[in-house]
Structure 1
Amino acid sequence: MSRRLLLVHAHPDDETITTGGTMARYAADGAEVVLVTCTLGEEGEIIPPELAGLGSWAADQLGGYRSGELSAALRALGVTGHRFLGGIGGWRDSGMAGTPAAEHPRAFATGPLDKQVRQLRAIVDEVRPDVLVTYNAFGGYGHPDHIRAHEITMAVADAARRVFHIASGGGALLPPEAPATEITTTIDIRPYLAAKIAALRAHATQVTVNPPEFALSNGVPQPIADGEYYTLVRGPRQGAETDLFGGLA
């Protein structure tokens, strides 16, 4: 059976931090894995001091640099399918809520929802995925771009004349205080940890890696977990406890 997995993420590095092991697993298993990245992450903070001049507050070249990091990360994960929503640079990182970045004319979170839905629908019609993965309604931790990614993914799924498995969450995006009943699928990524670690290292402007931990620009260590965790929003649950494709004929 042909299996197709499509993941919708907001910025480069989100895919690796939250779903990298899952992507590596299914790519290795022969599934078609396609990532949709909605922005270039232009508003991200920068960890290496020597690259600080790339920032939006300086040369504003971080987005292009992060697209190269993303390409390297996908190679490490064994994933060849990738699209930027609306084309590369089509939508811009909106920054956190209340920041001036949200006023940019290409800001993803404040852009026209109907246009973004059409763009994602075109990708879904092309790929014809069996499983869609995105964030929960809160965007994992409330980032406006993550919330918009959830909104457009659900809008496309609601309008489609097909039945998808739809899963939300993924690794660090699931709130630590979430009750265990919200987790319906656990993907064992232990065989793919080396690939995930290599992909994390590819995102060097955003992530420092010291296995078994990694840290973002705030320097707070986070574990590189053995599993990635999802909530099945739609689709048959039988067999979905350990497989995002579980229950599909």
Structure 2
Amino acid sequence: MPVTPTAEPRDPWALLDAARTVLTVHAHPDDESLSTGTLLAHLAARGAEVVLVTATRGEEGETIPGSIPAGDTRLFDEVRMAELDGAASALGIARRHLLGTPPALAPGAAPRRYRDSGMRWVTPQIAGPAEGTGDDAFTRRPHQEALADLVAAIEHERPDVLVSYDDGGTYGHPDHVLVHQLTAEASAATGVPFVEVESYNEEGHGSADGVFAHRELPGTAAAVRGALDAHRTQLTLLAPDRRTDSIGLRLSGGQEHRLPLGAGVRVHDAD
């Protein structure tokens, strides 16, 4: 059974500060860096063992022209897995697993693959479901299979805390929203508390859905920049701006963002 945290259960930072092992769940390669990079770098630097579970290989991601060298014969998902390895190393992640492969696989089940569901931009900053999603897409696969696989990963790693998106899924990507739902259900099934990381609204500010506890996390910039730089097919780092305590980047779709060196978190309330 997972270790029972001794911290006050409604204080997300107390849970995170006390955690010896943190399991973070994400939909695609690069989400660990874009959505939680600062938090994960902070946790790893202070000595927590950080474990990453990624649901898909990001097969439907847009690609920045020229980011894959001419003559590179790898499949796109292989490129993205290599980028994920680099990002995980930069953040100090101890281990990473793919959902549907051991140990993130339900006992007795044959390995299974969850494919990136894709998306379309509803507004310049908010995503929605793709117009054509295949039957093998993450959002169309049997829900209980994915849940069983995530529970298996939790039972294998025995984390003190789970970390993932809030119900806004960062920017509304259907795979992100599903990961939030699965993490909440897995938390209820295993008794491991779930700390949600704040989404951002269309203007790039914090989510208005609920109250989050914010903390600045100085000293994480180098690790986060290294992780982001590993995902060269998906984003481009912008030149540092000495006037702001944040990291600028441009996504493959052209959107520009500044990631703060801090995080807003809350404990998921099952009620």
TM-score, normalized by length of structure 2?
0.75
Q: Using the alignment, how far apart are the partners of 1:107 and 1:222 within structure 2?
A: 28
Is 1:221 the counterpart of 2:250? The answer is: no
Q: 1:117 is matched with which residue: 139, 147, 161?
A: 147
Deviation of residue 32 (structure 1)?
1.3
Whichever residue aligns with residue 118 of structure 2, its letter is G
SS of residue matched to 1:231: strand
Whichever residue aligns with residue 263 of structure 2, its letter is E
Q: 2:195 is matched with which residue: 146, 167, 172?
A: 167
Runs of 5+ unmatched residues, structure 2: 1-17, 102-110, 120-128, 241-246
* 1:22 aligned partner: 39
Q: 2:75 is matched with which residue: 42, 61, 64?
A: 61
Deviation of residue 11 (structure 1)?
0.3
SS of residue matched to 2:138: coil
What RMSD, in angstroms, separates the aligned Cα atoms of the two structures? 2.5
Distance 1:60 1:202, change over 3 A: closer
Moved more, 9-18 or 75-84: 75-84
* 1:179 aligned partner: 208
Deviation of residue 89 (structure 1)?
7.4
Q: 2:267 is matched with which residue: 232, 236, 246?
A: 232
Q: Using the alignment, how far apart are the partners of 1:108 and 1:181 within structure 2?
A: 27
TM-score, normalized by length of structure 1?
0.82
Task: Say if 1:2 and 1:31, in contact at 8 Å, map to a contact too.
Answer: yes
Q: 2:223 is matched with which residue: 181, 184, 195?
A: 195
SS of residue matched to 1:200: helix
Deviation of residue 138 (structure 1)?
2.9
Is 1:138 the counterpart of 2:168? The answer is: yes
* 2:5 aligned partner: none
Deviation of residue 234 (structure 1)?
4.2
Alignment of 1:47-126 (within 5 A): 47-49=64-66, 51=68, 61-87=75-101, 90-96=113-119, 97-100=129-132, 102-103=133-134, 105-126=135-156
Distance 1:169 1:50, change over 3 A: closer
Moved more, 131-140 or 34-43: 131-140
Q: Using the alignment, how far apart are the partners of 2:44 and 2:157 within structure 1?
A: 15
Distance 1:64 1:180, change over 3 A: same
SS of residue matched to 1:190: coil
| Identity level (%) | 36
Whichever residue aligns with residue 267 of structure 2, its letter is L
SS of residue matched to 1:109: helix
Q: Using the alignment, how far apart are the partners of 1:209 and 1:84 within structure 2?
A: 26
Whichever residue aligns with residue 78 of structure 1, its letter is G
Alignment of 1:146-157 (within 5 A): 146-157=176-187
Task: Say if 2:62 and 2:253, in contact at 8 Å, map to a contact too.
Answer: no
* 1:241 aligned partner: none
Count of equivalent residues: 224
Distance 1:50 1:11, change over 3 A: closer
Task: Say if 2:64 and 2:233, in contact at 8 Å, map to a contact too.
Answer: yes
Q: Using the alignment, how far apart are the partners of 2:194 and 2:96 within structure 1?
A: 19
Whichever residue aligns with residue 29 of structure 2, its letter is P
Deviation of residue 122 (structure 1)?
0.4
Is 1:6 the counterpart of 2:6? The answer is: no
Q: Which has the higher helix share?
A: 1
Whichever residue aligns with residue 98 of structure 1, its letter is A
